[in-house]
Each structure stands twice: as structure tokens, then as C-alpha cells.
Amino acid sequence: MTTASCASGDVTGAELPTGILEFLGIPFAAPPVGKLRFEPPVPHSPWPEPWDATKYGPTAPQPQGEGPMNEILPNRIAPGDEYLNLNVWTPTLDGAAPVMVFIHGGGFSTGSGSVSVYNGERFARDGVVLVTINYRLGPDGFLWVGDGVANLGLLDQIAALEWVRDNIAAFGGDPQQVTLFGESAGAMSVVSLMAMPRAQGLFHRAIAESGAGVSVISPRSAKKVAARLAALLGIRPTRSAISALPVDRVLAGASTVGEELTKRPFTTLWGEAGRNLMAFEPVVDGDILPGIPEDLIAAGAGHDIDLLIGTNSDEANLFFVPSGAVDRMPSIIASVFAWLYGARRPGTVRRYRRNRPGVSAGTLAAAILTDGFYRIPALRLAGLHPHAHVYEFAWKSGAFDGRLGACHAMELPFVFDTLDDPEAAAMLGGPAPQELATRMHAAWVRFAKTGDPGWPPFTAEQRTSMRFDVTSHLTEDERADERALWPSSRRKARIRA
């Protein structure tokens, strides 16, 4: 057992057999329940006795995932009010090591910082204090009906970063050397925080894995989602009416909204939420999030923050292969995805098909969705930032007879160097190269320590990227013919507060 002192009181963690110190389930804000349910996070009241930080705490309320995709994506759900908590792994309580704070993904509706694949022991082994966090999800974190405070989930993330600023020195970390990183919705959060005035100065480097600066919605779109949720719940679309209902009932309604949006993702019905395929996500409210993150970064926000950003080669396979949908897609879907995400030049689908001879209509559509939703926005953001580095993760899983490929979230056990975690086995689909995990994990550590992951920066003129695979190597404007089919700037469909 080992004890550290926080602003709210002492916390007692464990010393692992490797000598790494582990502190789990430390509250960074008061429980967001009762009168605090739809309010910004507030400090936790002091605890008189040492807090038991030897086991993971509760997780944010969320639906229990079902279906083939959820069977291969690890998650942990645990009930309890004290779910605004975080976990810390550190090599020692002394000194001032670089700090890395991880924001989990899950479409802003699922996930937790206590998934075992995110175990931070290997980061601590390599001289980094690693922190993982929880934040409010779904309606409780991102509902917007026009009253109260928007983006509570983002404010929770800021509260966790403020906790790091004020307390991490007691865990051997340097609050002036913080790298914020995240995957999927976590990466979208990272980029949003780069652009948010309230997060300024709380972190100094950023890593965005499979998420960039356009996955936000307007208040108009958010109100469309809220109105549909309220209709399903049989109440008026007000924050007070929704907050009066049990969390489980609201979650059930939110799941139905998500299913309806996925089946009919029309912007006429949902606004930008239809294009983003997420019912609850950050809202451009003009205050907490003053604009679209990509636009704000283009105008200079976050330029003092070192950036590492990248995507996986086959992101969209996760959404289509496990369910078998990849084999049922009509050929028109590829054109729909190309049009929806901005590649509207004649011949776009023909070019993608020519570069992938013999693939099915579903595989072709997945390739176009991967680029339109993930790869192109990431490259565009990197080109707008004065000191960005870019990567692509290309190792192909053996799962589903190799058809899963380098899908969404596949890089995570490599980044955390947790290939040996049983929870990662289903996604990896068999043996995975430890040499690749060692190399990728080392690049993340190096970036956190120096701002340089080990390869040249990316610019709009020299599009250098590191391709991580069994044999990793640098590329220069890879698949330039396909990149050129997409607009060089975001489609100017305005999102205003």
C-alpha cells in the first residue's frame, strides 16, 4: 500500500509487483447526481479518511452494448454515483515526470477510463505518469435543449485536467508537461479542448487517434435530437423535465434515438448529427465551444500545443464487418458516403474502385467512409497546424478471416503496449507483433517527453507520415490521387451558436 495527498484528502493505492504505483477511482469532482445532474462539475468535498484507491470506481451511466461489434470492443460498466473519477499510474511519488492524460472513446455515449487495455503500467515503466478519466456520456453529458449549460461532458474533461494541474505533483508528475491524448470521441474531445478558451494552459501536447476537428453539431441539430428524445419519453423538451426522469429511462430513450439516427441519417431530420452519425456530441454553443474546432485552429487556436494526429487504414471496417453488413451493402452506398463527406467530383467512386480491384461494394463503401470521416479531416487539421506530426496505423488483424483489417480502435493495445491483455484478444484475432507495439508505444512516450515522435513534421507542402505496420516506414502523400478527390477545406455549411 502507498499513500499520496490530494486537495480533497489522502488516497491509498497499491504498489504493483513491477514497482509501479497504481491509484484507481480517485474522484476529481462531486457526483453529478440530484441537483448537480445537469450542472457543470463542482469540486468534491474533502474526505476525512484516506480514500481507498486500490480498485476501479464506477463508470458513467451508459447502455449495455449488444451485437457483434460490442463483442470485440472491450468495455467496463460499473454502477455508482462517484463516476467522475480518474486513475493514475506512476513510477514514483517523487520527481516531476511528464504526464499523459487519456480520454476514452465510445461515440460520446459509451466507454470508460477503466478498460483494462488502457492500463497505464507500461507508460509508467517508461517514465510517464499516466492518467485515464471518466466523463459524463450521452444525454447527461451532451444533451442540449437550449437552456442551462451545454457540453457538460467537455467541462468534466476540463475538471479532470484541472485536478491534474493541482494534484499531479503529489504523484510525481509535472503539471507543466501534460500531454492530452484520446481515441475516437476521445480524440474529437482532444481537438475540441485545443480550441476551447477554458482549457487553455491545462495541457501542452495533444495526440488525436482517429478523430479530428469537425465532429460537432449546431444548437439547431442538438435541439432536433433533444426534441425526438423528449417525444419518446413523453415529456416536454426541457432540461428540468428530462432531469426529473430516472437515468435508466433516459438512456433507453437515447438508445432508441441513436438507432433511429443510424437507420435514417438524414440531415433534414437531424442536422449535422445525421452526418456525424452520433446523437449526442459537442455543441457549438458560442461560449464553452465558441466555434467548429477546425475553424478555430485554422484561426490560431491551439498553435502553442504540439500535435500528433493519425488514423487507421481501415477505420470503417469495425462498423460493417462484425455485423456482416459489409456483404449486404448496395453499390449506391459508396456514392452516398462520397457525397455526404464532400468528395463530389465525378469519378470519385470509380477511382477508389480502380485502386481496389475486385473488392465488394461494402468494402469500397468502407474505404470511402474511412477517408471522408477520419483520414481527410485529420490530414486537413494537420495542414492547418504549425507543428503537427501524422501517422497511419496499418497492421491488419486476423479477426473475421482477416477482413477486420486495421479497423477503428485497433491501435489501442499497441499504443498502451497491452497486447497481452485478454480483453484485446478478440479484436487482434490471433498473434500480434510485439515489435510494433514496442515501437508505437515508444513514439507516444517520446512525443510526451519531447514533442517529437521520431519522424519529420507534416506540412501541407510536404505530407510526411509514419506508417505503422509489421515493417514501419515513412510515406510522402500516400494515396495522393484519392486525397485530391476531397475538398482541401471543410465544406462551409455553417454551424453557428
User: Across all residues in the chain, what is the average pLDDT?
Assistant: 96
Give me the pLDDT at residue 391, please: 98
Confidence (pTM): 0.97
Among all residues, which ones are annotated catalytic?
A: 184, 315, 408
91 in Cβ contact with 21 (< 8 Å): yes
Looking at the chain, the whole-number percentage of residues with pLDDT higher than 90 is: 94
Q: Is the predicted pLDDT of residue 492 greater than 70, yes or no?
A: no
Instruction: Classify residue 148 as exposed, middle or buried by CB count within 10 Å of its CB (0-12, 13-18, 19+).
Output: middle
Give me the pLDDT at residue 489, please: 79
202 in Cβ contact with 295 (< 8 Å): no
If pLDDT is split at 50, 70 and 90, which confidence band does 493 have?
A: very low
Instruction: Classify residue 34 as exposed, middle or buried by CB count within 10 Å of its CB (0-12, 13-18, 19+).
Output: exposed
Long-range residue pairs from 234-238, CB within 8 A, at least 24 positions apart, any chain: 237/145, 238/145, 238/147
Give me the pLDDT at residue 71, please: 86
Percent composition of the chain: helix, strand, coil (DSSP 3-state, to 5)? 40, 15, 45
Q: Phi, psi at residue 428, to the nearest 5°?
A: -70, -30
pLDDT, tens only, 28-67? 999 999 999 999 999 999 999 999 999 999 999 999 877 7
Task: Set out the domains of the chain in order of their start, with CATH numbers.
Answer: 1-215+288-497 (3.40.50.1820), 219-276 (no CATH)
If pLDDT is split at 50, 70 and 90, which confidence band does 495 have?
A: low
Give me the pLDDT at residue 496, please: 54
Listed in sequence order, the residues at least 6 apart from 201 whose beta carbon sits closer than 8 Å to its beta carbon are none
Listed in sequence order, the residues at least 6 apart from 194 whose beta carbon sits closer than 8 Å to its beta carbon are 206, 293, 297, 301, 302, 305, 307
